[in-house]
Chain A
């Protein structure tokens, strides 16, 4: 099929549709109705194959988007997959959960709707799985070198996948029962069903990656020393799991949780894992989610599914504009008002709201005291400073509060102290530009190194670290 260079004028952007709200809130299945392949082909034809592909620039992985769009358009799915795999280890994940920096940078998005890049990516990978094109690769040229990867989030998995492909023998250590890290225990199933992770892990295992679950390296069960002795190189990819807290009066009350704990328990419940400790359930509760980001949105969706009486999401920053503001010029990823599928399932959203204290009844949270704030530019420092607006105080009733205010840095585990790893100013593991930590033959990648970020950045980090480890082992 020859390319119609003006297809973008004839075909409008069409994203996948969601299942009806009433249906989807009653289960944890994917909210998205999978798009037919023909529709993907049509959507791919909107790609202008720009001389300067900003999408490709915007994608941290450098996915060769115009090239595989072109191939999708003409139905050359397998070739598209070959090129997609060259830059992205887990398109089935980014294809579902990536905020698509590429689409924000799409040239067509300047004065029209951008190409549905993320969904095209998903179409390619799912086509490849569906048709059996993806098979475990035979990796013959084994180098005899052993590498340990600690952590099985996007960075750890990507690193393992790459090193394995290079012929090194890779063992992934994971403290949880299954692989995936935050992808498994953070992102709800309705956004990322867990069989998708299982499918990938299974593939990696078949290709020779060894997984050791339920093992926290640095604990007595598996000493750091053993790790260092047993492997030629180590990559630490343990994430950035220390949540940002809100240190205000009443914080000690019961019924106030971190999002990570809330979501992780919910996900375990959904997948039938055993749950130990306190059960957190939103059923019939007035839920307040503090934090307006993606994690907050996931909490909203989860709370609704659990049968919350009401859900309120508050955010201290002002409401972003609906369209790109001049502070975030194209092709940067703009700060704009985003409304997720979870939001559409029922939530009240408030911005510029500061939580000042929690009120408890019988030790259990009952109320939040909030106030409106304004941000004013300090004329000397140029920084934005938060000012409470006098007289705007108000109370919010709550039975369950979820704090989704982001993460600070990696957890200060025994692993870090035993390896005596240097940390950076923000508390993350410090590496040189070759991803190497202060400890000999130990590398680090992902959120553990760069701080809280996106899946796509995690994959990028894992790939980069693998490349450096490969070089290190080659020397």
Chain B
């Protein structure tokens, strides 16, 4: 399988491919099989082609296909022609098979197939060659094209009791054939693939583009092809090595999304296989193991598991509920029986967590389910004659509006289900309640399920409070750990916050003893899946965990839920003792001590062997819990690093397939930071008892007071850990701890393969590093230090020095000497002094810190420096990092912009917008306009005018210091000027959500790129990613999404405020990310289309040289620039008390700012000059020639620190071998496909308005492929007139049809869009003063307030304008709206989230979590059913009665709504307003109300301005 994928090489690893896609189905509810369904299904597929992607080869898609009922009539006909005799429908199985092109190999496969079929009592009736037309295939697809056959399998002599029995047998045959071919020696075994083998369904798929499917498979043109349902899928893969076999649909399902937890899910499923049995399979069960086929995508894996669970007897809807459960824990409105079902099944299976829209079918029933976050769009239409079309977008099929019975969307966590036998659509509630009543789940739960409170609490065996200090020394606690990490956790229950980046050595390079945890870095979601907001969207999250013995997954009995439900996995001492002494039937606990002899390095491995053996033995002996304990360390006995012990035992038990039978509890003095816990859970711990951390917290209380008692402090500490874990989960887009456990969402940095394979199997570790002996040595060193005489007597711990530079602490690259040297050099404009600074940074032979510090250049013939590209040219490649005005002061922000403009480089606005005053050049020729305008998730200050005034638009997906997280600017920091540039209200807290709510997947990113390119075609579009394993494949996807430049940020980069654990532990060095990206893009032949940039702790010309040699064309500087302007690394940015006036908004401190643009200019020129010298030595004349020349580098083995002797840079420095015509650096420009957009036509027709500001009225037809309509027009207006100058309604456009995504995006003042029909996602995104009205087609007969009319995430980040929507909107309506006045007749989940301004009137139902994180603006909800309160998140808002002014506002907006959309709903309310106004409630942010009161305004002032303007 995976034929065609380049093998793993260098840093490229095919395992990190991501995909996401378009998915959909069509169905006749009554089950009637027609050819019409096939035709319609295929056109649905074709209309979603923009959701797929093309690679370097424009004719090779990422895969597309269909799944349908077996078209018996057709097969009968064609089999007859091929002389294959098939019995009647249902009595034979059919499947499409990809066969080797080599004849001998092919025959081997077919013979094998036949033999196994016979052995299993079936017979192969024949092999039918599937006729294909491969003329239109691209090179990539053609080269890897298999021989495609359909195999027809007879049911043999045995009479099958049920069709399902036959289906099962076909499965058993297929699994065996798959396994045998895989194990065989034939050369082309990778080509062999069975797309399915079933008596019910048949698929046609391949490495095709959606529009190629119809022509490629000649069969599909046959009018005898009939089915009642057709499932379609179009794939968008991040890289260009898509393969034939990964095309979807699979056997049962098609998936749009990404299972984030797949690694853990695979392990857990494997861990259950030992116990897996079923009377339906009997002894055959062994033939299908392992169930999960290695090397499959997340979707393929999900299908594997879905298949076995279904064939073992559970109905498909039941299986789907098991695998992708709704967020049931906190749902107040869910039926009790359904909750019990979920609770019961949580004991059997962890959720397969991640963004997912899954369509599934067994040939009779067809359905679709959406993940709990609703992170994929899914729209459907039901017609009056019983036809259903469901797909990722509306408008994929032309359905006359008058035929539409219902226009709907799949809601988060909900299921849409059609039973063609019952000939009806069964709604979510009914289908789930039906499943939930299959068995007495509630009764079982009540009887067998336990909670911690059911256990008898026992106090701890051993009180260690007497020798806390000694133990803390032993476990490597430092004074910093207490002061900086634990104190804030204990005092406030909050995770500690810090600022600036990490400039200390990687654990493997450090000369200080490191905790073993430090060898790992957190991974995080970027682009292909969104992170979650663990605070505002807590409703979808849960830390519940079920411990106890797992049972047979194919069965369900009352005993299956005989587990203990633990609400918080951080156990206190009493809880752990309760489990240790448990005395409840079936439960038994074994404590395994993790000590080893401190005198003997080798004993570490012995100890690992011992604990693994003891754990396995415990399983055999029927224990249900093991406690891995390091209590009792002393001079002679050291503790195994808890993570090493946990990983070793977990992996050992997984390998023995018994892991699910026992729970692993960790009792350790080691874990204290959030990241420690996250790692323990991520590598298999079920619960953790940090007994020493508790004592340390109490110690702090004793020493510091804190004004609380020890118990409260411990409670706070646990709370902080829980919150922190939620945050780490959410960064990866994972909702439940249950799925996170064992999911291994980390990358190792500096561990060798032996350690990883044994204890952290499957974790990436790309530069190798420390082995067991190094780990043993380091552990023993720390252990012995604790007992050394010098340490033993002192009443305090060691310094630490990780967070604050200390003489005797950890090394920092930014230290007093280097900071002072740089400042001296730039102030005196003295290159000699700069070189002294550069030497302090670059000569790391004493303290190697970064990966690049260990690189040196190979000898090469030099060239005279006079021949090297001049400084003036080089500095144009330099940019400064995204530091917002808000995070740094006005003086600093403008100095940087002026300096970069003088140099011809680029400065970056950061996320906070920019004062339009700065767009104008000063009289002296200077300009403070930032060339790069950032577009981040909060969209603060992102107006059309802002976008137009940019040379580059940068989409910030992640930030090095806190990838996967959002941000928050507390109200007290939002000064008047900050509020103005961010288009918000002073004093109101501003929250940046973790994800961009218009980017949940790669195709969404492509859409935003398209949006931005439309609004400002002159700007290049860049995407900022952060280094982690797999960033290369993501970058390939981004390149395919037409980004012009990709920035790979290092995980060490700086920040104005971020949790300390994120600064230290999230993200990887840019060296790895950059090199991986460069290698992957070259291998993909995509490198020529994009430029690469890198940043993160970049300081010197040497750094730049390394970046260039590893593949970057441009280079970003951040902290160093601040240092030139006066920053001395106080690391106080988050405190707003920067005494240098650099990172503060405090007026008094801002005055102390003493930086000058000259300093930045001097610095940049020095760096360029140093680079020139290096280039001269290397014999390279231009930077262009330098890019990607990794062969000029090698590892400097002479300076390797002792722990790092095993480091291996061969993958980092790998240079892919490609043919000479493949570009290895940027050579061409992206094609943005904006030449023929509808806007061109509008602009053409609106000439009078554009040139003379004369009003025009225009009309257009529109379809779903017309995307981002209005953006280019708006950009043009802003460029010409600036912001808000054109009078209202100057350009009036009326559209009819179905609008594509981003309808009316960035619509600026003076433009009015009227839309008759339907619209997709992102309506009015970033609207800046425009007016949008949307109403259903005049011929439609359905009720507008009950049917969906626009998609998700409408008016996201909009700053002003008006919107009137006659119909229901999808999820996340008006997210981060800061000024739009909108009326809508119903919204989905998360409405008005993070809103900071504007007014929203909702005339119908809202979804859950309304107003989460809403800090400004007002929403008016017509609460007819009276249940609004249960759906509103009152974290920041209050539900109140309307004031008289509110009533006027609502009435006025309703009148407008009625006038523009002819809304019956509006009319009905208006006509009886006096009676109905009472049903309105207003949702008022607490903070906003207070500010309005202070300002003595009532919220009506702005109203007049907008409404009359």
A329-B820 in contact (CB<8A): yes
Q: A8-B1139, A48-B1132, A110-B1139 are in contact. Are A82 and B796 (CB under 8 A)?
A: yes
Q: A52-B815, A329-B823 are in contact. Are A107 and B1152 (CB under 8 A)?
A: no
Bound-state Cα–Cα, A53 to B814, Å: 11
Q: Mark B809-838, 1 if CB is under 8 A from A, else 0.
A: 000101111011001100110000000000
Q: Does A9 contact B (CB under 8 A)?
A: yes
A6-B795 in contact (CB<8A): no
B796-A108 in contact (CB<8A): no
A107-B1132 in contact (CB<8A): no
Q: Does A86 contact B (CB under 8 A)?
A: yes
Q: Does B571 contact A (CB under 8 A)?
A: no
Q: Which chain B residues border A8 with CB–CB below 8 Å? A: 1139
Q: Which chain B residues border A331 with CB–CB below 8 Å? A: 816, 820
Bound-state Cα–Cα, A105 to B820, Å: 10
Least CB distance from A188 to B in Å reads: 32
Q: Does B1509 contact A (CB under 8 A)?
A: no
Least CB distance from B1163 to A in Å reads: 16
Binds B, one of A14-22, A56-64, A124-132, A435-443: A56-64
B1139-A52 in contact (CB<8A): no
Q: A62-B808, A64-B806, A82-B796 are in contact. Are A52 and B819 (CB under 8 A)?
A: yes
B1128-A5 in contact (CB<8A): no
Binds A, one of B543-551, B797-805, B990-998: B797-805
With beta carbons under 8 angstroms apart, the residue of A53, A62, A111, A167 that contacts B1139 is A111
Q: Which chain A residues border B479 with CB–CB below 8 Å? A: 67
Q: Which residue of B lies closest to A70 (CB)?
A: B483
With beta carbons under 8 angstroms apart, the residue of B500, B803, B816, B1154 that contacts A54 is B816
Instruction: Give residues 43-91 of A contacting B (CB, 8 Å).
Output: 48-54, 56-58, 62, 64, 66-67, 74, 76, 79, 82-83, 86
Q: Does A330 contact B (CB under 8 A)?
A: yes
Q: A67-B479, A82-B795, A86-B794 are in contact. Are A53 and B805 (CB under 8 A)?
A: yes
Bound-state Cα–Cα, A74 to B707, Å: 13
Q: Does B1140 contact A (CB under 8 A)?
A: yes
Q: A5-B1132, A86-B794, A166-B789 are in contact. Are A62 and B1137 (CB under 8 A)?
A: no
A53-B804 in contact (CB<8A): yes
Bound-state Cα–Cα, A393 to B820, Å: 43
Q: Which chain B residues border A329 with CB–CB below 8 Å? A: 820, 823-824, 827
Q: Which chain B residues border A249 with CB–CB below 8 Å? A: none
B1130-A83 in contact (CB<8A): no
B796-A83 in contact (CB<8A): yes
With beta carbons under 8 angstroms apart, the residue of A62, A107, A112, A332 that contacts B1128 is A107
Q: Which chain A residues border B1131 with CB–CB below 8 Å? A: 50-52
Bound-state Cα–Cα, A81 to B738, Å: 48
Q: Which residue of A lies closest to B817 (CB)?
A: A57
Least CB distance from B1053 to A in Å reads: 16
Q: Does A339 contact B (CB under 8 A)?
A: no
Q: Which residue of A lies closest to B825 (CB)?
A: A329
Q: Does B1129 contact A (CB under 8 A)?
A: yes
For the complex, count residues of B whose C-beta is within 8 A of A.
41
With beta carbons under 8 angstroms apart, the residue of B814, B816, B824, B1149 that contacts A105 is B816
Least CB distance from B1328 to A in Å reads: 38
Bound-state Cα–Cα, A223 to B789, Å: 35
Q: Which chain A residues border B796 with CB–CB below 8 Å? A: 79, 82-83, 86
Q: Does B807 contact A (CB under 8 A)?
A: yes
For the complex, count residues of A whose C-beta is within 8 A of B.
38
Q: A5-B1137, A329-B824 are in contact. Are A62 and B803 (CB under 8 A)?
A: no
Q: Which residue of B lies closest to A7 (CB)?
A: B1137
A50-B1130 in contact (CB<8A): yes
With beta carbons under 8 angstroms apart, the residue of A51, A64, A167 that contacts B799 is A64
Q: Which chain B residues border A107 with CB–CB below 8 Å? A: 1128, 1130, 1139-1140
Least CB distance from B1024 to A in Å reads: 25
Q: Does B976 contact A (CB under 8 A)?
A: no
Q: Does B1472 contact A (CB under 8 A)?
A: no
A48-B1137 in contact (CB<8A): yes
Q: Which residue of A lies closest to B833 (CB)?
A: A329
B807-A62 in contact (CB<8A): yes
Bound-state Cα–Cα, A392 to B817, Å: 43
Q: Does B703 contact A (CB under 8 A)?
A: yes
A141-B1152 in contact (CB<8A): no
Q: Which chain B residues border A33 with CB–CB below 8 Å? A: none
Bound-state Cα–Cα, A48 to B796, Å: 22
Q: Does A425 contact B (CB under 8 A)?
A: no
Bound-state Cα–Cα, A332 to B799, Å: 24
B1128-A56 in contact (CB<8A): no
Bound-state Cα–Cα, A62 to B820, Å: 18
Bound-state Cα–Cα, A456 to B237, Å: 65
Bound-state Cα–Cα, A56 to B1146, Å: 27
Bound-state Cα–Cα, A58 to B1137, Å: 23
With beta carbons under 8 angstroms apart, the residue of A57, A67, A330 that contacts B815 is A57
Q: Mark B412-439, 1 if CB is under 8 A from A, else 0.
A: 0000000000000000000000000000
Q: Which chain A residues border B790 with CB–CB below 8 Å? A: 166
Q: Does A326 contact B (CB under 8 A)?
A: yes
Instruction: Give residues 209-243 of A contacting B (CB, 8 Å).
Output: none
Instruction: Give residues 759-805 of B contacting A (CB, 8 Å).
Output: 789-790, 794-796, 799, 803-805
Q: List 28 A-B contacts (CB under 8 A).
A: A5-B1132, A5-B1137, A6-B1137, A9-B1149, A48-B1132, A50-B1129, A50-B1130, A51-B500, A52-B812, A52-B1131, A53-B804, A54-B1128, A56-B806, A57-B807, A62-B807, A64-B799, A79-B796, A107-B1128, A107-B1140, A110-B1139, A110-B1140, A111-B1139, A111-B1152, A166-B789, A326-B828, A329-B820, A330-B823, A332-B820
Top 7 A-B pairs, shortest CB-CB distance: A51-B1131, A62-B807, A57-B816, A52-B1129, A52-B805, A329-B824, A5-B1137
Known A51-B500, A52-B819; 18 more pairs at CB < 8 Å: A9-B1137, A9-B1149, A48-B1132, A48-B1139, A51-B805, A52-B1129, A54-B816, A54-B1128, A57-B805, A62-B806, A64-B806, A107-B1140, A110-B1128, A111-B1139, A111-B1140, A167-B789, A329-B824, A331-B820
